[in-house]
A and B are shown apart, each in its own frame.
Chain A
Amino acid sequence: METVWKTYGFYTYRVLGVDMRNLLPILTVVAAIMVIWYAASIGMNKKWTYDQAGRAGVEVTFTEMVADTWAQDRPVLPAPHQVVAELYRSVFEKKISSKKSLVFHGWITLSATLLGFVFGTGMGILLAIGIVHNRAMDMGVMPWAIASQTVPIIAIAPMIVVVMSTIGATDFLGKDTATAIFGYQPAFMKGVLPKAVIAAYLSFFPVVVGMVKGLRSPDHMQLDLLKTYNASKQRTFWSLRLPSSAPYLFTSLKIGMAAALVGAIVSELSAVPLRGLGARMLTGSYYGQTIQIWSALFAAAALAATLVASISWVERRSLKKMGMS
């Protein structure tokens, strides 16, 4: 009974990677954040309320003031429920092809992120394999790959966007090819390439570094064993190095995915046409639409959480199948 309880019971139960024993503390912390948030939005928005009241020449009571700070159109700090309402409006009540729909902007960002992520991790894994098997590459490239992690690579984003538009390489497949295949140009293909390049570039280096570590993780005993089997280099790679790199790969995939999303968002600040979650934030900050910024921020956070959580899910499943967890 004890074992059954331990295996299936509340105590070892994890949902989405969260240990349920921590549920109460987590909820407490989240509740505390909410309280602080509501209090802060009173503090930060009340000046506007009093200014308006002063201009209109009316007295506001404390409760009226509080109610107003939580319901302004352009608050300094929107209250959580305002952000949630805006999220609901722009996700569910707008047509998803509309420029006001967060689903539309989220999809633009997501497609650039995924396209870049796939290319970046693919190239990263290939380079890591090269580094592990070629000493000259290891000694020549690896120090740069490590050093690049201390460099704010994201600073090149605006340049890549502008240079790629100058040479006309912005659309995935190109307008004519896309029209020939689909009959129209799908929205996400327009202007996706520069963003994907930056996303790929940002996810590339963490994957290289992590994957090299992973491919090197088999110890001497294991490598020697394969040598006694007279295993070829190729065989050693497929049967030992690649499987043992899996935990490292998944860790760097999660880092790479988060980096790719940041890359896509930041490059949307300078990309034309102005679309995507990054662009929503930028237009929001131009026009003082704070609620719009916050809802774009939350959409980006939800996107990041979903992407990373799905990698975690695959990680748990496959490591379990491989007998590594």
Chain B
Amino acid sequence: MGWLIGVFLFWLAGYFLNIYLANSPWRKTRIVKLAVPAIFGITILVVWEGLVRGLEVPSVILPPPSMIGARIATSLPILWSDLIQTFVKGALTGYLMGCGAAVITAILIDRSPFLQRGLLPVGNFIAALPIIGTAPILVMWFGFDWHSKAAVVVVMVFFPMLVNTVQGLAATDSMQRDLMRTYAGGYWNTLFKLRLPAAMPAIFNGLKIATTLALIGAIVAEFFGSPTLGMGFRISVEVGRLGLDMVWAEIAVAALAGSAFYGVIALIEKGVTFWHPSQRG
């Protein structure tokens, strides 16, 4: 009972603190902008912890955050090797290959309006399909190790990336292209000095979408078969033996890796597209 009352009081405190901060004169400051979501997050964790303890929820249903934290602290080597297997070998390799292939394809079909008009609708169509379903096929073709995961990621990121790049390459207007022509800039000069830089906002948009897809692809592909390590493997095995604290630990790591991956791409974008209005605000 004490836990429940404590949780309720904490929740009230967090609630009113956030309302106060959000309507205070400092609401436009950076600190408050970070503090409000942080307070919300902490309140959720505390309420979770308190409710699980207060209601005595068994840990095979929902482990408390403290238990998950302890699990993370004690299984760092396992989590690390899973991260390397799934994120670095599976997701990152596939991401680089898939995005690279998509950009190159976009540049190749760029000279043929016919191919573009054919490939873009098909690409858009495929991008909306549950491509993750190719995972069992690719696992059969490329084996259980990370190669098949990278292949799933390649297939998943290729079409969103292709569509974005083609759109980006069309972003320049005829004035700019004419200017390049008055400079006697040929196709390749125009491509590298004008059109690719102008395409960067769209390309990075695709790259950011692809970060999440890459992790999803790598993790789900492991549900169809993997060597005895990897985040998806660990999740499905630990779920089977009701080690939910380990499952949550893997999910926390996946969330961190996903956000960090996205953050890194967003940072690079900031450097590359510093000239774009959306980055100046």
Contact = CB atoms under 8 A, between A and B. Distances in A.
Nearest to B116: A25
Contacts of A294: 137
Contacts of B128: 254, 258, 304-305, 308
Interface string A288-304: 10100110110011001
B18 to A, nearest CB: 5
B107 interface: no
B122 A158 contact: no
A92 B216 CA distance: 34
B133 A300 contact: yes
Interface string B245-274: 001101100110011011100000000000
A261 B130 contact: yes
Given A159-B235, A282-B224, A305-B125, A297 B118 contact: no
B278 interface: no
B184 to A, nearest CB: 32
A150 B262 CA distance: 6
B212 interface: yes
A180 interface: no
A305 B122 CA distance: 12
Given A26-B122, A163-B62, A144 B130 contact: no
Contacts of A308: 128
A33 B115 CA distance: 13
Contact of B37 (A139, A269, A278): A139
A291 to B, nearest CB: 11
B118 A154 contact: no
Nearest to B37: A143
Interface stretch (B1-9, B19-27, B97-105, B196-204): B19-27
A320 interface: no
B36 interface: yes
Interface in A70-114: 76
B254 A262 contact: no
Interface in A195-220: none
Contact of A76 (B141, B223, B248): B141
A140 B242 contact: no
A266 B132 contact: yes
Interface in B210-247: 211-212, 215-216, 219-220, 223-225, 231-232, 235-236, 239-240, 242, 244, 247
Range class of the B interface residue count:
35 or more
Nearest to B19: A136
A285 interface: yes
B37 A150 contact: no
**Looking at chain A, what size class is its interface with the partner chain?**
35 or more
Contacts of B211: 150
B48 to A, nearest CB: 14
A177 interface: no
Contacts of B225: 285
B187 interface: no
Interface in A252-297: 254, 258, 261-262, 265-266, 269-270, 277-278, 281-282, 284-285, 288, 290, 293-294, 296-297
B117 interface: yes
B143 interface: no
Contacts of A262: 130, 132
A19 B122 CA distance: 12
B224 A290 contact: no
Contact of B242 (A18, A24, A143, A162): A162
B251 to A, nearest CB: 5
B7 to A, nearest CB: 18
B176 interface: no
Nearest to B255: A151
Interface in B127-181: 128-130, 132-137, 139-141
18 contacts: A25-B119, A26-B117, A29-B118, A33-B122, A76-B141, A136-B18, A136-B22, A138-B22, A139-B21, A139-B33, A150-B212, A155-B254, A159-B251, A162-B242, A167-B61, A265-B133, A290-B140, A293-B136
Given A26-B121, A138-B22, A159-B251, 7 more contacts: A22-B117, A136-B36, A152-B255, A281-B135, A290-B137, A300-B130, A301-B129
Interface of A: 18-19, 21-22, 24-30, 33, 44, 76, 135-136, 138-144, 147, 149-152, 154-156, 158-159, 161-163, 166-167, 254, 258, 261-262, 265-266, 269-270, 277-278, 281-282, 284-285, 288, 290, 293-294, 296-297, 300-301, 304-305, 308
